[in-house]
Structure 1
Amino acid sequence: MVKVLIADDHAVVRGGLRQFLSSTEEFDIVAEAANGQTALELVRTSGCDVVLLDITLPDLNGLEVLKRIKRSKPDLPVLIFSMFSEDEFALPALNAGASGYLNKDSPPAQILAALHTVVAGARYVSPSLAERLLAGTMSPGKRLPHENLSPREMAVLLLLSKGVPLTRIGEQFHLSVKTISTYRARILEKLDLASNAEITRYVLQHKLG
Structure 2
Amino acid sequence: MIRVLICDDHQIVRQGIQQMLADAGDVQLAGEAANGPEALARVREGGIDVVLMDIAMPQRDGLDVLRQLKSEFPRLPVLMLSTYPDKQYAVRSLKLGAVGYLNKSADSEQMIGAIRKVAAGGLFITPTVAEHLAGAIGAGRDKAEEQPLHDRLSHREYQVFRLLAGGRSVGEIADQLILSSNTVSTYRARILEKTGTRNDVELALYAVRQDISPVMHGV
Q: TM-score, normalised by structure 1?
A: 0.68
Q: Is the contact made by 1:31 and 1:46 (CA closer than 8 Å) also made in structure 2?
A: no
Q: Name 2:189's counterpart in structure 1.
A: 192
Q: Name 1:161's counterpart in structure 2.
A: 179
Question: Secondary structure of 1:161's partner?
Answer: coil
Seen in structure 2, the aligned counterparts of structure 1 residues 115 and 190 have a Cα distance that, compared at 3 Å, is same
Seen in structure 2, the aligned counterparts of structure 1 residues 188 and 135 have a Cα distance that, compared at 3 Å, is closer
Q: Name 2:98's counterpart in structure 1.
A: 98
- CA offset at residue 47 of structure 1? 1.4
Say if 2:76 is the partner of 1:76: yes
Q: Max radius of gyration: which structure?
A: 1
- CA offset at residue 84 of structure 1? 0.7
- CA offset at residue 21 of structure 1? 0.4
Say if 2:130 is the partner of 1:130: yes
Seen in structure 2, the aligned counterparts of structure 1 residues 133 and 145 have a Cα distance that, compared at 3 Å, is closer
Moved over 4 A (4+): 131-141, 145-148, 187-191
Question: Secondary structure of 1:142's partner?
Answer: helix
Q: More deviation in 137-146 or 113-122?
A: 137-146
Q: Name 1:112's counterpart in structure 2.
A: 112
Alignment of 1:6-25 (within 5 A): 6-25=6-25
The AA in structure 2 aligned to 1:144 is L
Q: More deviation in 127-136 or 91-100?
A: 127-136
Q: Separation in 1 of the partners of 2:155 and 2:19?
A: 38
Question: Secondary structure of 2:67's partner?
Answer: helix
**Alpha-carbon displacement from aligned partner over 1:9-67 (angstroms, at most 9, x marks no partner):** 01001001111101111111110000000000001004100100000011111100100
Say if 2:45 is the partner of 1:45: yes
Gapped regions of structure 2 (runs ≥ 5)? 140-146, 158-173, 191-216
Seen in structure 2, the aligned counterparts of structure 1 residues 96 and 132 have a Cα distance that, compared at 3 Å, is closer
Q: How many residue pairs were aligned? A: 166
The AA in structure 1 aligned to 2:102 is L
Say if 2:148 is the partner of 1:142: no
Q: Is the contact made by 2:3 and 2:50 (CA closer than 8 Å) also made in structure 1?
A: yes
- CA offset at residue 111 of structure 1? 0.9
Q: Separation in 2 of the partners of 1:191 and 1:56?
A: 20
Q: Separation in 2 of the partners of 1:145 and 1:87?
A: 16
Seen in structure 2, the aligned counterparts of structure 1 residues 35 and 147 have a Cα distance that, compared at 3 Å, is closer
Q: Separation in 1 of the partners of 2:33 and 2:39?
A: 5
- CA offset at residue 127 of structure 1? 2.5
Identity of aligned residues (%): 37
Q: Separation in 1 of the partners of 2:74 and 2:95?
A: 13
Q: TM-score, normalised by structure 2?
A: 0.65
Q: Name 2:208's counterpart in structure 1.
A: none
Q: More deviation in 108-117 or 47-56?
A: 108-117
Gapped regions of structure 1 (runs ≥ 5)? 149-156, 164-183, 194-204
- CA offset at residue 162 of structure 1? 5.8
